[in-house]
């Protein structure tokens, strides 16, 4: 599949590397075509890179791995026409680091980053996924032993299914993929990032995840 990964940070590069290893044609998107993190990633992985618009135009599926507070700006640069009708998997978190660490959570007016994106790009098929864990665990769930979950939500059931299929190829089992239904569920999953930070500081590792017992 042709996949655009928008974001040249650790998350975008990790997801992009995994997707290339699975045989996808990945284009990593950035504000600039010559971003060194992106060109280095392309040389290392055999993937392509370009601007946000180049990547989004090339992708059949879009992954948003930009900062949650700049995601609408990044996606605007990607171009609404390049997002229309496509599954847009949003892994962002709305964190404000301006006051230092730990960051504060910003609740966007729409209720969550994912809903903010959906509102700005109504023709995109937004699915929130993966943002409640570290990027290494996103693409290799076996790093965490035992039962643990990945949450997905979105208003388009077929887009959630496309996302779940991709997650299965990452190694997520069906019993780990918790489909929470509508995109408004992101109002609950995005704030988990603050708990994640506290737990990480306490247990001293990023190789952990949330598990739902019921």
Estimate the crossing angle of helix 113-120 against helix 71-78, to 10 degrees: 30
Distance (Å) of CA 201 to CA 101, 105, 205: 12, 17, 7
Contact range with ligand NAP by CB under 6 A, out of 3-11, 79-87, 139-147, 175-183: 3-11
Is residue 12 near ligand NAP by the rule CB under 6 A?
yes
Q: What does residue 95 show for φ and ψ, rounded to 5 degrees?
A: -105, 140
Nearer to ligand NAP by C-beta: 75 or 214? 75
Q: What is the dihedral of CA 207, 10, 94, 126, to 10 degrees?
A: -100
Nearer to ligand NAP by C-beta: 12 or 160? 12
Is residue 61 near ligand NAP by the rule CB under 6 A?
no
Among 27, 92, 118, 189, binds ligand NAP (CB under 6 A): 92
For residue 122, what is the DSSP state?
T
3-state DSSP assignment of residue 60: coil
Q: What does residue 162 show for φ and ψ, rounded to 5 degrees?
A: -60, -45
Q: What does residue 41 show for φ and ψ, rounded to 5 degrees?
A: -60, -40
Is residue 10 near ligand NAP by the rule CB under 6 A?
yes
Distance (Å) of CA 6 to CA 120, 178, 210: 16, 24, 26
Nearer to ligand NAP by C-beta: 4 or 87? 4
Distance (Å) of CA 131 to CA 45, 52, 101, 207: 23, 20, 19, 14
Is residue 82 near ligand NAP by the rule CB under 6 A?
no
Maximum Cα–Cα distance across the chain: 49
From residue 149 to residue 188, the character string flagging contacts with ligand NAP as x (rule: CB under 6 A) and all else as - is ----------------------------------------
Q: What is the dihedral of CA 115, 166, 173, 207, to 10 degrees?
A: -70
Among 135, 149, 176, 189, binds ligand NAP (CB under 6 A): 135
Is residue 65 near ligand NAP by the rule CB under 6 A?
yes
Contact range with ligand NAP by CB under 6 A, out of 91-99, 116-124, 143-151, 177-185: 91-99
CB of 142 to ligand NAP, least distance (A): 17
Among 82, 112, 118, 134, binds ligand NAP (CB under 6 A): 134
Contact set for ligand NAP, span 95-114 (CB under 6 A): 95
Contacts with ligand NAP by CB under 6 A lie at: 7-12, 30-32, 35, 65-68, 70, 73-74, 91-93, 95, 131, 134-135
């Amino acid at each position: 599949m042709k996949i655009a990964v928008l974001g040249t940070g650790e998350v975008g590069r990790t997801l992009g590397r995994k997707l290339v290893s699975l045989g996808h044609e990945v284009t990593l998107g950035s504000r600039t075509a010559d971003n060194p993190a992106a060109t280095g990633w392309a040389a290392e992985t055999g993937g392509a890179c370009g601007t946000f618009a180049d990547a989004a135009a090339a992708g059949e599926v879009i992954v948003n791995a930009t900062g949650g507070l700049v995601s609408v700006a990044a996606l605007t640069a990607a171009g609404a026409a390049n997002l229309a009708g496509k599954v847009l998997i949003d892994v962002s978190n709305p964190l404000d680091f301006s006051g230092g660490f730990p960051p504060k959570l910003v609740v966007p007016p729409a209720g969550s980053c994912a809903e903010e994106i959906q509102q700005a790009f109504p023709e995109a098929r937004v699915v929130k996924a993966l943002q409640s864990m570290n990027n290494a665990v996103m693409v290799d769930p076996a790093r965490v032993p035992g039962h643990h979950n990945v949450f997905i939500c979105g208003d388009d059931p077929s887009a959630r299914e496309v996302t779940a299929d991709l997650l299965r190829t990452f190694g997520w089992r069906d019993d780990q993929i918790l489909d929470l239904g509508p995109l408004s569920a992101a109002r609950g999953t995005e704030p988990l990032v603050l708990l994640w930070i506290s737990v990480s500081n306490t247990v001293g590792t990023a190789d952990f995840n949330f598990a739902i017992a019921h």
